[in-house]
Structure 1
Amino acid sequence: MTTTQIDEEALMNDPRPALIRAAAQIGDLVTPDIDLDAPTPCEGWTVDDLLAHLVTVHRRVAHVGRGGHPFDLPHQIRQDDAAAYVAALADGRREITEVWEADDAILEREMTVPWGVVAGRAAAWGYVRELAAHGWDLATALGAADTLDPELAAVVVDRVRETLPADPRGGDIPFGPVVEVPDDAGPYDRLVGWLGRDPAITVTR
């Protein structure tokens, strides 16, 4: 994983470095020999299902940045095999970088995302949250949660707690109840717990 330090103060104004870093973290986890049939913490989803969704998320990030509607793309874009997922996610990261770094004005531009019409800065934060959470889902499925970037989670978790209420959940807020974690829990445990995931979950292979 990347170890380049995140400037937290700058990130408040510009979440794009965290967005790209969250996408890169997922790419680091996906290899041509990954087990696509392995279960994940996402109920009913295999690694194949999760990666198919992550391909969509990558493309949506770029698509909404260009002014498109997120639901122009399907919920999942399945690939033929693990090597194809490696290529699709790498292409998605390249596209995200090209679209979002081309013009700083993108942070102020209104765009449509699944949770409403928001400024680009808020859209980017929302996708940082999604990619960071799904990065944990994927790493947990692969038995690699200890390889995740704690600094990324640390800069995301406080923002998520500020913008995503603990109550209500469900309906238009597609997260389960907050899972309480110890006060000294690591940043990923605090992040996924707030998003309704149990950081102590064991995935049965």
Structure 2
Amino acid sequence: MLDLEPAAQEVIRLVGGITDDQLTAPTPSTDTSVADLLDHLTGLALAFTWAARKSAEDVPGASAPPPPASADNLDPQWRTLLPARLDELVEAWRKPDAWTGMTMAGGVTQPAEVMGMVALDELVLHGWDLAKATGQQFHCDPASTEAVLAFTTESARPEQAAGREGLFGPVVPVPADAPPFDRALGFAGRDPNWTPA
């Protein structure tokens, strides 16, 4: 079991520092604004909560792939809605049975332990995206860094190329002696030195 709370709390902290005039700013995620990313995070928090509870099959439409993230779909109450959903996400994955069996999120069925890892990876990488886009510092706890590095390293193996589709961009070369989090970013297709154009 992984603890999603440190990563979720970091996203919540970052959300609190976003100003309205930053919503249209670009992020390291290609063709994605801050508002688009907030919409994505709001949706994925809910989807991965359902995944932990094994309840997606009971929610109309939850078994279909999610619509593309869009600022047009961002809930006007995102400043309170997103933190509340992230808190629910953390609690859902604290239950041991969340990590057992098979489960579904966004139209994809996988072993629950893999889905939990994907949830952590999404929180960490998109937290970093938000921080870079809005000029805030990003902090990743050591356990989450280790888990995400292992996950992105595995995804970067040539035989995993098909599995990367839609999850990560092409690997960005990062020195082998770079900090662990920078290497995780590179394997996830992100440039650790990204800055807004």
TM-score range normalised by the length of the shorter chain:
0.7 to 0.9
- The correspondence for 2:74, drawn from 78, 84, 103, is 78
Please report the TM-score for the alignment, with normalisation by the length of structure 2: 0.81
- The correspondence for 1:27, drawn from 6, 9, 12, is 12
Q: Distance between the aligned counterparts of 2:135 and 2:86, measured in 1?
A: 24
Q: Which amino acid aligns with 2:115?
A: A
Q: Which amino acid aligns with 1:197?
A: R
The 1:24/1:39 distance shift into structure 2, 3 A limit, reads: same
1:42-91 Cα deviation digits (max 9, x unpaired): 222211111011101111111122220453754445122xxx22211111
Q: Which residue of 2 aligns with 1:128?
A: 120
Which residues in structure 2 correspond to 1:48-197 (within 5 Å)?
48-67=35-54, 68=56, 69=62, 71=64, 74-76=67-69, 77-80=73-76, 84-101=77-94, 103-114=95-106, 116-144=108-136, 146-151=137-142, 152-162=144-154, 164-167=155-158, 169=161, 173-174=165-166, 175-197=168-190
The 1:185/1:170 distance shift into structure 2, 3 A limit, reads: same
Q: Which residue of 2 aligns with 1:8?
A: none
Q: What root-mean-square deviation, in Å, do the aligned CA atoms of Structure 1 and Structure 2 show?
A: 2.4
Q: Please give the secondary structure, in 1, of the residue aligned with 2:104.
A: strand
Q: Distance between the aligned counterparts of 1:45 and 1:72, measured in 2?
A: 18
Q: Which amino acid aligns with 2:84?
A: D
Contact in 2 for aligned 1:37/1:46 (Cα 8 Å):
yes
Q: Distance between the aligned counterparts of 2:183 and 2:35, measured in 1?
A: 26
The 1:179/1:172 distance shift into structure 2, 3 A limit, reads: closer
Aligned pair count? Answer: 183
Q: Which residue of 1 aligns with 2:32?
A: 45
Q: Which amino acid aligns with 1:203?
A: P
Q: Which amino acid aligns with 2:5?
A: I
Q: Distance between the aligned counterparts of 1:112 and 1:142, measured in 2?
A: 32
Identity %: 29
Q: Distance between the aligned counterparts of 1:61 and 1:188, measured in 2?
A: 23
Structure 2: tracts of 5 or more residues without a match:
57-61
Structure 1: tracts of 5 or more residues without a match:
1-13
Contact in 1 for aligned 2:127/2:138 (Cα 8 Å):
no
Please report the TM-score for the alignment, with normalisation by the length of structure 1: 0.78
